[in-house]
Amino acid sequence: MKLTIIGCSGSFPGPESPASCYLLTAQYQGRTWRVVVDLGNGALGKLQQHLALEDIDAVCLSHLHPDHYMDLCGLHVAIRWRPGGWPGKHVPVYGPSTTDQRIASAYGMDPNPGMHPDFDFQTWRPRQAETIGPFTITPVPVRHPIEEAYALRIDIAAEASADAREHTLTYSGDTDACDGLIEAARDADVFLCEAAFEDGRDDHIEGVHLNGHRAGVMARSAGVGRLLLTHIPVWTSQRVLLAKAREEYAGDLAVAVAGVTYEIGATTTHHQGETKQ
């Protein structure tokens, strides 16, 4: 399975990256499966460098802040107005219970029918797994100031891995430290974990985001194989985050970079530079 970082800028698009968006691809049962995890503002354009939009098998949303879901508006336009019509079925969108209403409101639409003609909206049920091709995705509630926020534990079928073994990628979504995050990340091969707050500067803020130290503690407590820090705003120092995470976590550690592709289930590789510690 491949993880491609489409966007990793925290809270809003930065000069070198869109907001949160990650592409999972895997060969399984004779074809390529493509799942988009979060679709934040600015991500839809970069995503098209890696796939044709009609090849998306599903969109999975961690929560409903704009930097994680707002480019559903653009995908709606692509589906509704594609010359010759959109091929195949509606695109499945997995997310919190009010996803259909929020995205309709964002576009100024009556929620009935809203975007239901374009998307097949599916509601996450906490700790209830959903299977999309080779991916089994389990949403686990985490700590963030919005009604529904989830970390996503993504288990990959052995048949989709180069070494014929099951593997796990956990995506934190947005969260502060909590037991749910450790649960979701337990023994994951790769932990794609937000670290939006800078250690020493934002320590007075509780219940919103992780910093480097707390991300390191979560990774160590969960026993993950690799920690990738993501969702880092333009005003937050990656070097500080790495140094503080390293104090708590001794495993493979790096900062996610837009455009990098990682192989999960084989030797981890990347296509361009990443900041490591």
pLDDT in tens, 154-171: 999 988 888 889 999 999
What is the per-residue pLDDT across 220-252, written as a single tens digit (0 to 9) for each?
999 999 999 999 999 999 999 999 999 999 999
**pLDDT of res. 276:** 67
- Whether 259 shows a pLDDT value over 60: the answer reads yes
Task: For residue 272, name the pLDDT band (cuts at 50, 70, 90).
Answer: very low
One CATH from 3.20.20.70, 3.40.50.300, 3.60.15.10, 1.20.120.1200 for 1-258: 3.60.15.10
Give the domain ranges of the chain: 1-258
Closest listed residue to residue 146, CA positions, set 100, 97, 112: 97
Phi, psi torsion values for 68, nearest 5 degrees: -125, -10
| Stretch (H or E) spanning 72 | helix 72-81
Reported pTM? 0.95
Tokens for 195, please give them: 């670290």
- pLDDT of residue 188 exceeding 80: yes
CA separation, residue 107 to residues 49, 71, 77, 115 (Å): 25, 11, 10, 9
Given the DSSP bridges, would you call strands 130-132 and 119-123 parallel, antiparallel or unpaired? unpaired
Strand bridging mode 58-60 / 252-255:
unpaired
- Comparing 180-189, 250-259, 264-273, the range with the smallest average pLDDT is 264-273
110-125, pLDDT tens digit by residue?
999 999 999 999 999 9
CA distance 129 to 29: 20
Structure tokens at 30: 């004779």
Predicted pLDDT at 162: 80
- Give the whole-angstrom CA distance, residue 256 versus residue 4: 10
Q: Which of 141, 143, 113 is nearest to 128 (CA)?
A: 141
